A and B are shown apart, each in its own frame.
Chain A
Amino acid sequence: MAVTIQRHHRRRFPTGLIAKHVVINLGVAIILLPLIWVLLMSVKSLPESYTTNFWPRQFDFSHYGFVLTRIQTLPQNMFNSIFVTLATVAITTFCAILGGYALVHVRLPGRMLLIWLLIASLFFPTRLLSLISIYEIQRQLGLLNTVVGLIFPYVTLNLAVSILIMRGIFEQLPHELVEASRIDGCGPWRTLFLVLLPLLLNGIVVVSMVNFVGVWGEYLLAVTLTNDQATRTLPVVLASAHSGMGQWAYPRIAAVYVIAVTPGIIIFALFQRLYFKGLTEGAIKL
């Protein structure tokens, strides 16, 4: 028996192994090539950008300086994106911590109903349907065409999933801790902020990442609710800059693109360990 298995393995070994690695590396190449292409595009000279060369003959790093100094609204657009993203991530994380805590550690009427509503909302095209009236609401509140105004609908984009993630994190916390804190005389608010908050790091990282990615690149609401170049965010600028001429020549848009994509990749690289830990801890059973 053992002999036949060994022979079986020896016969299949090379082809199987090679085929496996060919397929995997093909997958890796398919993922990486578009990103490498745009990176190389951002360092091509202007004339070369209209050719089909993959590898630039001559590296030209001037486009990064150009887009940051010569495209007038771009620093403003970047600021808009950073501002909206930081504000939304902070508010959503705060709401999600309180919400997750309420759904686990305090007695709350209608708790299960709320949880089911949150889960059900993940399957419903809320973002699409609410858009029609969000425009009207923003106008009535004087928030149309403002950067601050974007924060309100942005918070709701991933709020349900954020609360569910935080709920999962809270369920993992030892209940003895909460009880000990109660015996020591802490109310539910002080228990949350003084005792539990430091233990929520993984969850905060996951919720922040989810919201960062969702908001940093948000397009539909931004393009609908703002219309001046100065109030636009980076994704809207990038999506509308497609002429390939002048200040929006391909290497220049590519440079803006690289600037827009890099923060996410860096943040993720820094926090990926915490992120995966948080993601598994945040899991719940349906």
Chain B
Amino acid sequence: MTGRTAALAEVTVTYSGEAPMATVASRVASAARTWRSTYRLSDYANVLFLVPATFFFVGWQIYPIIRVFVLSFTDYKYLERNPPNFVGLQNYINALNDPLFHVGMLRAFAFTVAFVPLTILIPLVLAVLIDRVTTPWLSSFYRIILLIPAVIPGPLVFVLWKWLFDFQIGPVNTILVEWLGLFNRQTAPQWLGGTPLSLPAVVIMEVWWGLGYHTMFFLAGLAAIPKDLSEQARIDGANEWQLLWRVTVPRLLPILSILVVLRFGTAMSVIDEYLIFGGFQRTSPTYSWTVYMYDLAFRIGDWLQGYAAAIGWLGAAVMMVFVVGMLYVFRSRD
């Protein structure tokens, strides 16, 4: 989870469905090739351009990740003075037999399975509808509203929803009790504090957060579909549902699949919202493998960072298996 604006950009940089763009890019690229072959500066001097980025990447991403990998084979405890011992695969074996790790992975999967379809289907429907709004001012009004949640940084969204779900003053319960009359003040749902409802609460919040930018994203994809295509289908007697599933969705499929993979990755490694919503209660459905890793690394005992590192790498490995699998499946369908 980085900012949602970043997420929007991520999808855009990993996939652009517009063919003309690709042609322009390839033309520029071939021009670049001819130009480069006549260029005389030493190739290696150009590495200087990458020095600033490399400094930060190496210091605060590549080195820490390698270090965490090395730690995962030791019994390293951060607060302990004795030097760590090499323990081979013991941490990984322990993790595979650790019920908290199992349940943590299952919780992450439960969240992902609930969140990813909703955060893609709801914006898809909304985008299809907004795409048909023909009044220009109304259509740009909708687009501006949709973007507001995307410029609110994630943790600030989580803080806001923590208040919205508050048992006493939260408007979610006010709506359920006073407006809809589904509960009374005593029987109103407890959304927070590690109850079973904590997970749906996080899902609802995440879907809200993604509603705007995913819709905007699909709108951009829809704009690339030629209008006469759907006109033709209508004349041929297709109803709106058939149009959606037979014409629109297949055209959006490349964007959809990249979005599914990226969202899967963010959903499985969610941590900030779990910390803000559920804290470190082990029984809470928000105590996922990510929270367990954090708990081990910075809170439990002497900060069991060796074990935490193994949990982290194991979780990441499981994620990567799914990500690579999904990329493979989506790719072969093209």
Contacts and interface: CB of A to CB of B under 8 A. Distances in A.
Interface of A: 5, 16, 20, 23-24, 27-28, 30-35, 37-38, 41, 49-52, 54, 91, 94-96, 98-99, 101-102, 104-109, 114, 119, 121-137, 152-153, 155-159, 161, 163-165, 168, 171-175, 178-179, 182, 187-188, 206, 209-211, 213-214, 216-220, 223-224, 235, 238-239, 242, 244, 250, 253-254, 257, 260-261, 264-265, 267-269, 272, 279-280, 282-286
Contacts of A187: 41
A246 to B, nearest CB: 16
B208 A49 contact: no
A182 B168 CA distance: 68
Given A34-B208, A165-B9, 14 more contacts: A23-B126, A35-B160, A38-B160, A98-B49, A101-B49, A108-B47, A108-B50, A129-B68, A132-B308, A213-B150, A214-B6, A219-B275, A286-B14, A286-B258
A37 B171 contact: yes
Interface string B111-133: 00000000000000110011011
A41 B316 CA distance: 41
Contacts of A244: 169
Contacts, number: 317
B61 interface: yes
Given A104-B32, A137-B64, A239-B158, A132 B21 contact: no
B293 A23 contact: no
Does more than half of chain B's interface fall in helix, strand or loop, or is it mixed? Answer: helix
A38 B171 CA distance: 10
A132 B269 contact: no
Given A137-B63, A224-B298, A20 B265 contact: no
Contact of A238 (B3, B29, B159, B235): B159
B13 A168 contact: yes
Contact of A122 (B14, B71, B313): B14
A153 B60 contact: yes
Given A165-B13, A214-B3, A257 B156 contact: yes
Contacts of B133: 20, 24
Give the interface size class of chain B: 35 or more
Given A104-B32, A127-B2, A285-B15, A261 B156 contact: yes
Given A31-B145, A217-B153, A94 B52 contact: yes
B301 interface: no
Contacts of B6: 158, 161, 210-211, 213-214
Contact of A161 (B10, B18, B145, B261): B10
A41 B271 CA distance: 28
B105 interface: no
Nearest to B1: A127
A219 B272 contact: yes
B35 interface: yes
Nearest to B269: A125
Given A123-B265, A257-B156, A257-B160, A129 B13 contact: no
A95 B56 CA distance: 9
A77 B104 CA distance: 34
Nearest to B290: A128
Interface in B25-71: 25, 28-29, 31-32, 35-36, 39, 41, 43-44, 46-47, 49-53, 56-57, 59-61, 63-65, 67-68, 71
A28 B142 contact: yes
B23 to A, nearest CB: 10
B278 interface: no
A285 B25 contact: yes
A105 to B, nearest CB: 7
B157 to A, nearest CB: 8
